[in-house]
């Protein structure tokens, strides 16, 4: 049947593919989907800000740093050697958050959360 618009697999010298116009992967996001993604990013930021405000910034940082350390250690134990995080290597991320958690715990416990200056 000619003239149908369904994707048809074709074989050629380079192997199996789809006819032109049917491409691979999901279609590009619509304008509405782009706005929704951006709105969701701000929703996540707002949620984190709200949790920070409720728990208290110093305690929130300590909790999140500890969770990040635990998750990255677990990820490294199952073979992860690269991350999307700015530092790229999970071991560097663990070291960074370890320093942050130690400094935060010292500030909360030893200094009693007082201003450093």
pTM of the prediction? Answer: 0.61
Burial class (CB in 10 A: 0-12, 13-18, 19+), 100: middle
The count of C-alpha atoms lying within 13 angstroms of the C-alpha of 81, restricted to the half-sphere facing its C-beta, is 1
With a cut of 60, say whether residue 79 has pLDDT above it: yes
Q: In the predicted model, what is the mean pLDDT of residues 23-46?
A: 84
Q: In the predicted model, what is the mean pLDDT of residues 62-69?
A: 92
pLDDT digits (tens, 9 = 90+) for 44-57: 888 888 888 888 88
Distance CA 74, CA 79 (A): 9
Q: Where are the domains of the chain?
A: 27-109
């Amino acid at each position: 049947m000619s003239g149908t618009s369904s994707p048809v697999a074709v074989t050629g010298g380079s192997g199996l593919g789809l006819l032109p116009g049917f491409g691979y992967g999901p279609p590009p996001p619509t304008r509405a989907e782009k706005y929704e993604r951006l709105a969701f990013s701000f929703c996540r930021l707002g949620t984190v800000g709200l949790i920070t405000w409720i728990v208290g910034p110093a305690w929130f940082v300590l909790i999140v740093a500890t969770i990040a350390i635990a998750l990255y250690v677990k990820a490294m134990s199952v073979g992860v050697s690269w991350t999307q995080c700015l530092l790229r290597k999970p071991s560097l991320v663990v070291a960074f958050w370890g320093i942050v958690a130690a400094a935060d715990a010292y500030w909360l416990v030893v200094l009693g959360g007082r201003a450093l200056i």
